[in-house]
Amino acid sequence: MRIVCIGGGPAGLYFALLMKKQNPAHEITVLERNRPDDTFGWGVVFSDQTLGNLEKADYPTYDQIRQAFHHWDDIEIHFKGQVIRSGGHGFVGIGRKKLLNILQDRCLELGVNLVFQTEVTDDEAVARAYRADLVIAADGINSRTRKKYEATFKPDVDVRKCRFVWLGTHQPFPAFTFAFEKTEWGWFQAHAYQFDPETSTFIVETPETVWQKAGLDRMSQEEGIAFCERLFAKYLGGHKLMSNARHLRGSAIWIRFSRVVCESWVHWNGRVPVVLMGDAAHTAHFSIGSGTKLALEDAIELARTFERIGDTPAQLREVLEEYQRVRRVEVLRLQNAARNSTEWFENVERYSHFEAPQFAYSLLTRSQRVSHENLRLRDRKYLEGYEAWLAERAGLPRKPIPPMFLPFRLRGLELKNRVVVSPMAMYSAKDGLVNDFHLVHLGARALGGAALVFTEMTAPSPDGRITPGCAGLWSEAHMRAYKRIVDFVHEHTDAKIALQLGHAGPKGSTQVGWEAQDEPLPDGNWPLIAPSPIPYGPNNQVPREMTREDMERVKADFVRAALWAVEAGFDWLELHCAHGYLLSAFICPLTNHRTDEYGGSLENRCRYPLEVFRALRAVWPEHLPMSVRISAHDWAPGGNTPDDAVEIARLFKEAGCDLIDVSSGQTTRLARPIYGRMYQTPFADRIRNEVGIATMAVGAIYEADHVNSIIAAGRADLCAIARPHLADPHWTLNQAARLGYTEVGWPKQYLSGKAQLERNLARASLERAEELAIRGV
């Protein structure tokens, strides 16, 4: 093959050398606009895992990098005068210039043609000149090639909120150091790490608004660097900060990170493909040290795919399709983690009220890739110290306790732990009456170790049901049926039980979940009401727009149901304002087109749900909590956004709400959520720490590790878990057993089983110790 690489950064150089090594007959040329010794930036960072990939791909390159890198295990976080240190993280730093020189030398050794000081303005002309079979566009974050073929690549470029400057210093940093300094203008943070015996990278970052308030946009390069030296003087030990971007003038050294995602990475010019690689195809924020890692691993994967499938012209299309398929998954996974990390550093102010230990834990787990148990593997002493600190803050003895098992108090109610059985529609009621099925369903989960068990959404009137099988609370008979379940939970368990009240509105009169979900009944449909006459789907009936009289009637129905809930003995009341049901339909601009005082602005759209909430709060006992479930993101153009969710939460807090149950989506069939582990937790995090109200996280939370991470980081106060509780009513007890935690609060009926479990755990621990001793560990 004849291959041309446009761009002599890590991606282009490494792919060139791997392909030349794979087949010396390949004719490979790398075109680079700079000189061999030019580089902008300082050190780059790899994880130990990345080094392992380099070792397998090309040992001579790995060996030279290994001899040149600076290795560290510890992360050190400086915040509010305290230093928190955590070990076992396994990173290496190497100078960017040194890395490029190693790759250049290896390319020359293998016979790759390196051409420097050559600006490529026309990739097609280059391809013709070198008679290329393949063009690799590794021309960086501002890729000219990506711009030229953007109709094919479909790039999405998101310019982020912070400004940062990439500096160097001769001050050594034996640990990867994060330093946070508050100024009169706002927070600044430094990311510092050593990459050779004499030099460290020192990145200073701050939100654009803070940068402007401090006047850095009006300073010269020298003045801006001097500002950073003064601000971080106590970390620099008298050393200066240095720039190697002298070609830039004034504040141009301060840049904003661009997150790049491309829909496609391959463009075909006739028979010659142009393939994006490295930053040209994708970027990941420097706070997780991934740009160079992604570039090198792109090169490894494409070279490996050629080796596996073949490098003939007939095989080229298959190779590139397979390469893109495999790499996109890993890149998107890392970009999601990088997005979480980026947003954390953009919002340091959000977490600035934390004490230093929790602030540090939040930072360490910010990407959601490093979890609670992962931190235990890295540094058990650090994590157990933090668990003990959390236990003490919760009023318990200072000893390590998994955060999910810390008690939680709201108003006069105390929950034994942080696990909640989420509301789940069972479609098994008869005329709204709950029955033996619900007794077994909710009773089993109350026995299973969770602190709080929610009923399914319960309608305050027959026309408020989603389906004919949904629960209701509009008569004394409905109250007595629920009281039987509440009494069972209180008599036989130490769990609490909550009622979720909601009116289906435009999503009512549909088939049960195991039939055609969200579709209307074949017959026997009842009339629907909504804020506006907008059907939920093309087959759903058009609801009648609510009058003021309708609003008063529905509000009275809610109040009557709440009074029945008091009589039934529920411990907690939640108002359902999410998922496109009646009150959610008022809040969502896609379903509320009213022109009166209940439509238009966000405040107006929330007016009726707030009226209902205040009416319920007035009759609900003062000592018991009330929560509201909201859709924090409509996931649809023109819908509510996380910014709106913050304001919605503020309005409910002002009305007396104690906790926001943070879900998202399902408000419109146009919604296109981005799913993933704990994908809704960032919304709960933001509301909790910006609004100052307790939150409940829900959505793809299915392991104790998830719950522990969320609670320990202060992202939410409770975790609602749905599907895992369907599969395992005793999910909480079983997760406790897996953690080896036996003080979870077992029902007395299970105590003999608990004793057996403790014996089994002790035996397993002994066997594990013996196994490790045999292995010499």
The catalytic residue positions are 581
Interatomic CA distance for residues 403 and 370, integer angstroms: 16
Question: Are 400 and 704 contacting, i.e. CB atoms less than 8 angstroms apart?
Answer: no
Chain position carrying tokens 């100024």: 183
Both structure tokens of 714: 């202060």
User: Which residue type is seen at 462?
Assistant: P
- Bin 682: left if φ > 0, else alpha if -120 < ψ < 50, else beta: alpha
Both structure tokens of 334: 């890392």
Q: Name the phi and psi angles at 408, rounded to 5.
A: -140, 130
Contacts 24+ apart (CB under 8 A), 290-294: 290/334, 290/338, 291/44, 292/10, 292/44, 292/45, 292/46, 292/96, 292/99, 293/46, 293/47, 293/50, 294/331, 294/334
Cα distances (angstroms) measured from residue 170 to each of 11, 76, 471, 481: 28, 18, 68, 73
- CB-count burial class (<10 Å; 0-12, 13-18, 19+) for 490: middle
Both structure tokens of 772: 């490790």
Buried b (16+ CB within 10 A) or exposed e, 711-728: bbbbbbbbbbbbebbeee
Question: Are 99 and 17 contacting, i.e. CB atoms less than 8 angstroms apart?
Answer: no
Identify the CA nearest to 288 among candidates 352, 210, 370, 351: 370
Beta bridge pairs of residue 31: 6, 115
Interatomic CA distance for residues 621 and 600, integer angstroms: 33
Beta bridge pairs of residue 72: 91
Identify the CA nearest to 533 among candidates 619, 591, 618, 458: 591
Question: Are 272 and 134 contacting, i.e. CB atoms less than 8 angstroms apart?
Answer: yes
Question: Are 575 and 612 contacting, i.e. CB atoms less than 8 angstroms apart?
Answer: yes
**Cα–chain-centroid distance for residue 579?**
21
User: Which residue type is seen at 95?
Assistant: G
Interatomic CA distance for residues 683 and 521, integer angstroms: 34
Question: Are 630 and 581 contacting, i.e. CB atoms less than 8 angstroms apart?
Answer: no
Identify the CA nearest to 712 among candidates 372, 347, 340: 372
Both structure tokens of 342: 């980026």
SS (H, E, C) 277-334: CHHHCECCCHHHCCHHHHHHHHHHHHHHHHHHHCCCHHHHHHHHHHHHHHHHHHHHHH
